[in-house]
Structure 1
Amino acid sequence: MTNRGYDVVVDVDAEGDLGHTDLQEDLEFHSSNFEDPQSRNKIPPDTSSNFLNNGSSSRASSSSKAFLWSVQFYAQFFDVDTSEVIRRCTAAIYPRTNFLDVLEGNPDLYGPFWIATTVVMILFLTGTISWKLAHSGQFHYAYDFRLLSGAAGLIYGYTGIVPIGLWGTLKWFGSESANLLECWALYGYANVIWIPVALISWSPISILNYVFVGVGFGISALFLFRNLYPILSATDVRTSKILLIVVLALHAGLAIAIKILFFAHGSPVGDGKAPEGNKPDRLF
């Protein structure tokens, strides 16, 4: 008797006596796939939605374009919690390892955005306090919100535009290790040192402000140098040196701008004149 298409299950009694097996009661027949041995290892296709086409292959092109305008696309750049942001901020101030290793392949824009926003607000407040102390008793002081817009333009512009320029330059020279999100994260977390610097640089003693800003520049520049050097080294030696000098020069320009524009009562560009209309004379 042949059982093509079936496999036999034999129920053995307690005594192990196969001689008295009742085929009607002890045998069960089940569907078998013996005739199709390849079907044993066949994996059913995954019909779940993928990253771009939302599960519809016929609409892949239109869905990928629309996906750029969806919240889900940008949510992946903010996929961090508070503890992770604090850990990254600590690693930026006290670098014990390469910051790209700290990112663990998940660079975020959440930390850089709020760090830059915090720096802007603190520069506005402490810069206002610094100017007020330098001109105490001369006239009635009125807030100048051009200082706030100037701080936003300086910090957001530097943090947003310089990484794009660096990334584009590295791509131009054929670097495969350049990543725009990682460049944004590096520059964004490098700004965290300016928070304590801005908090203590409102002193009317100009030399102290220069020292505080210089320390902030040194720590943040060392952070950028340490993490960008392996990326810049992917280009030729001459190009990498030029790019490194440009990076440090731009960062030094940021530090000088912070000192002059926000703590400028002792700055060589200050004219020392009383403002018109009982308002402070600002550079913005």
Structure 2
Amino acid sequence: MSSSHNNGYDVVVDVDDEGDLGHTDLTDLEFHQSTYSTTDPSAGKAGRSSARSPRTAGGPSNSTSTPSGKHHLFTLSFYAQYFDVDTSTVLHRCRSALIPRTNFLDIIDGNPDLYGPIWITTSVVLMLFLASTLAQYFARFGEEGDGGGKRYTYDFTLLSGAAGMMYGYTFIVPAALWVVLRWWGVESANLLELACLYGYANLVWLPVAVASVSPITILNWVFVGVGLASSGLFLFRNLYPVVSATDHRTAKILLIVVVALHAGLALAIKILFFAHGSPVGTKDPNMTHPVEPPKSDGRLF
């Protein structure tokens, strides 16, 4: 018995032992459904192509790896992928930042997000403004008893000062560090990973701002010092393997600069927002009316 394929069917023909086909008519033919399938060559190529570039589960795809991704750089859809995170992921990264047990860059696993850093930094800005306002109010109340009988006015210069300082530090410093690392040929951390790292490092300033409402100066210094030590150690621990890819002298200089800038941030938070008569605000926090400009005596200088 022999068979042949014909348009998706098996044609079965009886053949005797001598190889003679004998008399064959249509009644001798049996048709069976064939299991043979024709594969489109183009479909196979598409399948192999997709298998070579799988998307990491739970993280944004790297659209810049394809030529078409470059056109998406100036669209909202390109940045929207870095905000596509769920609450559990953000909370897990927040816990890992406050209680670091492993390298934070290993936790984000090449899938940084911008939702957490922007949300945390914005919360820190608002908390610094509110806590500084309360701290100055309590300081004035303690000096004048009933506050001098004047209504307290909010100083929104503190809000703009906090926004400029926190957003500038969170995104400009990582960008500068990334440029230096790229100059030395280090590619172990990209720009968004560094921004994500610095953004989650700001989380410690939320409890520090709440605790610094206390009018006791020494306690404010202690709270800010604890925040500096915690977040500074977090940054040092995660950046050390990255900057170590450069030579020893460059790595040492970069780590010193990172720690010095972070210490400067902590010092600015203490002096500008949790000291009576903050330089960020007005010179007289008790003032309820704007200061009238001095009368001119006709001289230019």
Give the TM-score category using the shorter length.
0.7 to 0.9
Residue 71, structure 1, aligned to residue 76, structure 2: yes
CA distance in 2, matches of 1:199, 1:52: 40
Counting aligned pairs with the same residue, the percent is 57
Q: Which runs of 4+ in 1 moved over 6 A?
A: 1-4, 47-53
Residue 235, structure 1, aligned to residue 255, structure 2: no
Amino acid at match of 1:190: A
Partner of 2:157: 146
Partner of 2:57: none
Helix, strand or coil for the counterpart of 2:154?
coil
Partner of 2:46: 46
Helix, strand or coil for the counterpart of 1:108?
coil
Count matched residues. 259
Contact 1:142 1:280 (C-alpha < 8 Å) held by counterparts:
no
Partner of 2:18: none
Contact 1:143 1:279 (C-alpha < 8 Å) held by counterparts:
no
Partner of 1:124: 129
**Which of 180, 198, 219 is equivalent to 2:209?**
198
CA distance in 1, matches of 2:170, 2:154: 26
Contact 1:144 1:280 (C-alpha < 8 Å) held by counterparts:
no
Partner of 1:93: 98
Q: CA RMSD in A?
A: 3.7
Residue 83, structure 1, aligned to residue 88, structure 2: yes
Residue 162, structure 1, aligned to residue 166, structure 2: no
Normalization by structure 1: what TM-score? Answer: 0.79
Amino acid at match of 1:278: T
Contact 1:127 1:202 (C-alpha < 8 Å) held by counterparts:
yes
**In structure 2, do the counterparts of structure 1 residues 229 and 280 end up closer, same or farther at CA, with 3 Å as the change threshold?**
farther
Superposition map of 1:21-60 within 5 A = 24=28, 26-28=30-32, 42=41, 44=43, 45-46=45-46
Deviation at 1:24, TM superposition (A): 3.8
For residues 194-219 of structure 1, what are the alpha-carbon distances to aligned partners after superposition, in whole Å with 9 as ceiling and x for unaligned? Answer: 01110110111000000000000000
CA distance in 2, matches of 1:195, 1:187: 14
**In structure 2, do the counterparts of structure 1 residues 275 and 132 end up closer, same or farther at CA, with 3 Å as the change threshold?**
closer
CA distance in 2, matches of 1:210, 1:234: 35
Q: Which piece of structure 1 moves more, 21-30 or 239-248?
A: 21-30
Task: Give ranges in structure 1 of 5+ residues lacking alignment.
Answer: 12-20, 34-38, 54-59
Partner of 1:218: 229
Q: Which piece of structure 1 moves more, 97-106 or 111-120?
A: 97-106
Amino acid at match of 1:146: T
For residues 107-162 of structure 1, what are the alpha-carbon distances to aligned partners after superposition, in whole Å with 9 as ceiling and x for unaligned? Answer: 00000000000000000000000011111124432101010000000100100100
Contact 2:121 2:202 (C-alpha < 8 Å) held by counterparts:
yes
Amino acid at match of 2:122: T
Helix, strand or coil for the counterpart of 1:143?
coil
Contact 1:171 1:178 (C-alpha < 8 Å) held by counterparts:
no
Deviation at 1:102, TM superposition (A): 1.1
CA distance in 2, matches of 1:175, 1:65: 22
Deviation at 1:257, TM superposition (A): 0.3
Deviation at 1:46, TM superposition (A): 3.3
Deviation at 1:8, TM superposition (A): 3.8
Deviation at 1:274, TM superposition (A): 3.9
**In structure 2, do the counterparts of structure 1 residues 40 and 201 end up closer, same or farther at CA, with 3 Å as the change threshold?**
same
Deviation at 1:97, TM superposition (A): 0.5
Partner of 2:140: 135
CA distance in 1, matches of 2:166, 2:268: 10
Helix, strand or coil for the counterpart of 1:141?
coil
Q: Which piece of structure 1 moves more, 67-76 or 179-188?
A: 67-76
Helix, strand or coil for the counterpart of 1:278?
coil
Residue 244, structure 1, aligned to residue 244, structure 2: no
CA distance in 1, matches of 2:183, 2:117: 25
Superposition map of 1:258-277 within 5 A = 258-265=269-276, 274-275=284-285, 277=287
Task: Give ranges in structure 2 of 5+ residues lacking alignment.
Answer: 14-23, 54-61, 142-146, 292-301
